[in-house]
Structure 1
Amino acid sequence: MYITVTKQTLDGNFTQSVSDFVAYLEKENEGKSIDEMEHFFNQYGEEISGKEVVKEIDGNTAKLKKTEPKFYSITVNPSAYELKRLQNHSEELKQYTRELMKEYAKSFNREINGRAVTVDDIKYYAKIEHQRTYKGTDKQIQENQPYATKILQIKNDIRKIESGELEGNIRKLHQTMSRLEKEAPHQQDGKRIVRGMPKGGSQSHIHIIVSRKDMSNKYSLSPGSKYKASETVFNGKPVKRGFDRDKFFKASEKTFDSLFQYKRNYVETYKARKTFLKNPKLYFSILSGMPTNEKATAYKILAKSGVPIMNIPTNKVQLALKIINKFKKGIDRAIQSGSIGI
């Protein structure tokens, strides 16, 4: 499970309205029948239109400055192993989202009218998507790039030959291009993987739009707060503030495991990822000390996610920075592609 919490972009890519983001999330419905479409939903409602989402989020921004985000985006990326546990991706991920948002509310160190924040205070709209496309940051695209560059050059040469700007054998160039297409290291369904190509396998994930303001449009609830839990003074009164991301991320795993009786391997946990980033030596030590079956599963998960597998370091010499960075780079790539939750 890999979850990101991102504030609304306020640069040239997005306007002050949520409309562009909603339109982006509606893209997967293009060309589908009504029965095949995935609609927005929230804690208690189904089949909510994009128009209503825009109206509700844009209208819930009282006293927010132009330079302040009006909403946050939460993206929930289950791993292939987690998705395999589900029987009905759409319905079960909706169920999971509603339980997850209860944990989201609990992660705020805030009070509203003297009580803790609950999910009923959170204005959000979520949508399930089932497709992903390859991006420039994906390992497959980067390692196929030298072949893509050569193929593009050949196509340009062919056009110049056809227009009389260059002399050459078009038939041979087509043969070379065909060979390069097949030699590219990453293929899918017999074709070279290129940017924008839909990824194979289960790719279901969740997008959640969360208003910066609570349901009453009076209180600001920011998951982007740099504070986990603290107090400040506002209008002469002590006010609690903060959002505990660690608590939220850990709860997201426990919620999934509880709902779907999922047995999580160590390398799939948020705790393991943090341990690797802060103390690689401890990470490798834990990995090497795992029971044989669990360790084998851990290696399988890492390998399928595009992480370079090597012998687990057992001493300080093997834990050289070069090795650690290589391993970390592999994990970072896997995370960016949304294919692993570690």
Structure 2
Amino acid sequence: MYIVITRQHLGDNYNGSASDFVNYLEKENEGKAPEDQEFFFNQTENDIDAQRVIAEIDANTSKLSKKDPKFYSIMVSPSQAELKHIGNEPERLKQYTRELMKAYAGSFYRDQEVSVKDVLYFAKLERERTYSEKDKAVKENQAIASKILELQHQIRGIKEGREQGDLSKLHERINALETEAPHKQNGKRIVPGMAKEGHQSHIHIIVSRKDVTNAHSLSPGSKFRTSETTLNGEKVKQGFDRDKFYRASEKTFDKQFGYRRNFVETYYARNLLDKDPKQFFATLLGLPSNEKQAAKQLLFKAGVKVPSIPTNQAQLAYKTLMQLKKGIGKALESGSIGI
């Protein structure tokens, strides 16, 4: 399960209103008949239109300055394995989102317990994901892409009379390079913006920074998990525990749908790899044989090029350790492993 919390962008791309972001989330509805469109939903309602989302988020900004983010976005991106487990069913993803937001509310540190009823949010299901410059396939295709771009510039120069050359040979060279690309999908070189194959359903959530009463701040962007500050002479609790939220998110999915999560799919494993890679691999080595084999298969599917998982502590040499960490780290960043 890959989850990202992002504050509202205030600048050229997004203004103070939620309209730009909401309109961006409407991109998959373009050109579709109303009955085929995907609408927003919240904890209790379905089929919420975009204008209502904009109106309610924009109106819920009491005492926030122009420089303060008015909302946060949460992207919930299940792995291929998780989507397969639930049959890629939209309703099950919506059910999960509603349980997820209970965990979100429970991750705030406040004097009074925060419940999901206190949170103003709207969510939307999307069925497509596209490749970006960060994806491993795009990065490894970049050398080929640069050569093709250079040849295309030559062709443009010849057509405009600025250069001389054989157009047919240049086109042949481009075709040859296209076949040499290490990563292709349906016979075509993978490039940024290309839709990914397979189940790609994911959820975008827009959540107001203020609670439903428009009186209290609920910011997941807090620098503190738990802290206390003095306000009007009284101590006030504040903070948001992202680690707690991420851990609860995957536990919620596993419990709700009976999913058996392998060690390398866990948020704990991701943190351990980053902070203590030697302990990560020691834990991996200590898994039961069937779980260790499943972990190896997950790493292989994620494109981690390792000859084998080390079989004992003596093989955990520094160089091997760092090579494995780099490979697994890239897979985690791209969401290839279900974290």
Give the structure-2-normalised TM-score. Answer: 0.94
Are 1:295 and 2:302 an aligned pair?
A: no
Structure 2 residue aligned with 1:47: 47
Give the Cα separation in 2 of the matches to 1:126 and 1:311: 41
Percent identity over paired residues: 56
Query: Aligned to 2:255, what secondary structure does the other structure show?
Result: helix
Structure 1 residue aligned with 2:179: 182
324 and 14 in structure 1: CA distance in 2 versus 1, 3 angstrom threshold? farther
**C-alpha deviation, 1:298, in angstroms:** 0.7
Are 1:223 and 2:255 an aligned pair?
A: no
**Does structure 1 conserve the Cα–Cα contact (< 8 Å) formed by 2:277 and 2:325?**
no
- Which of 304, 307, 312 aligns to 1:307? It is 304
| Mapping of residues 312-327 of structure 1, within 5 Å | 312-313=309-310, 314-315=312-313, 318-320=316-318, 322-327=319-324
**Does structure 2 conserve the Cα–Cα contact (< 8 Å) formed by 1:3 and 1:77?**
yes
Give the Cα separation in 2 of the matches to 1:36 and 1:202: 18
Aligned residues: 338
329 and 9 in structure 1: CA distance in 2 versus 1, 3 angstrom threshold? farther
Are 1:122 and 2:119 an aligned pair?
A: yes
1:91-149 deviation digits (Å, cap 9, x = unpaired): 111000000101111111113xxx41100000000111111111111111111111111
- Which of 135, 141, 144 aligns to 1:144? It is 141
**C-alpha deviation, 1:18, in angstroms:** 1.1
Structure 2 residue aligned with 1:57: 57
Are 1:86 and 2:58 an aligned pair?
A: no
Mind listing any 5+ residue stretches in structure 2 that lack a counterpart?
A: none
Structure 1 residue aligned with 2:279: 282
Give the structure-1-normalised TM-score. Answer: 0.94
Question: Cα RMSD between the aligned structures?
Answer: 1.7
**C-alpha deviation, 1:341, in angstroms:** 2.9
Give the Cα separation in 1 of the matches to 2:221 and 2:88: 32
Give the Cα separation in 2 of the matches to 1:291 and 1:198: 37
Structure 2 residue aligned with 1:264: 261
Task: State the one-letter code of the partner of 1:228.
Answer: R
Task: State the one-letter code of the partner of 2:25.
Answer: L
Give the Cα separation in 1 of the matches to 2:69 and 2:305: 38
Give the Cα separation in 2 of the matches to 1:125 and 1:306: 35
**Does structure 1 conserve the Cα–Cα contact (< 8 Å) formed by 2:88 and 2:201?**
no
Query: Aligned to 2:230, what secondary structure does the other structure show?
Result: strand
33 and 329 in structure 1: CA distance in 2 versus 1, 3 angstrom threshold? farther
Give the Cα separation in 2 of the matches to 1:214 and 1:88: 32
Task: State the one-letter code of the partner of 1:319.
Answer: A
Give the Cα separation in 1 of the matches to 2:93 and 2:130: 20
Moved more, 73-82 or 34-43: 34-43
Query: Aligned to 1:116, what secondary structure does the other structure show?
Result: coil
331 and 29 in structure 1: CA distance in 2 versus 1, 3 angstrom threshold? farther
**C-alpha deviation, 1:169, in angstroms:** 2.0
Query: Aligned to 1:339, what secondary structure does the other structure show?
Result: coil
Give the Cα separation in 2 of the matches to 1:30 and 1:339: 28
Give the Cα separation in 2 of the matches to 1:67 and 1:134: 32
**Does structure 1 conserve the Cα–Cα contact (< 8 Å) formed by 2:282 and 2:313?**
no
**C-alpha deviation, 1:12, in angstroms:** 2.9
Task: State the one-letter code of the partner of 2:100.
Answer: L
Give the Cα separation in 2 of the matches to 1:30 and 1:335: 32
Give the Cα separation in 2 of the matches to 1:19 and 1:225: 24
Give the Cα separation in 2 of the matches to 1:151 and 1:205: 33
Mind listing any 5+ residue stretches in structure 1 that lack a counterpart?
A: none
Task: State the one-letter code of the partner of 1:234.
Answer: L
Structure 1 residue aligned with 2:206: 209
Structure 1 residue aligned with 2:190: 193
Give the Cα separation in 1 of the matches to 2:74 and 2:220: 10
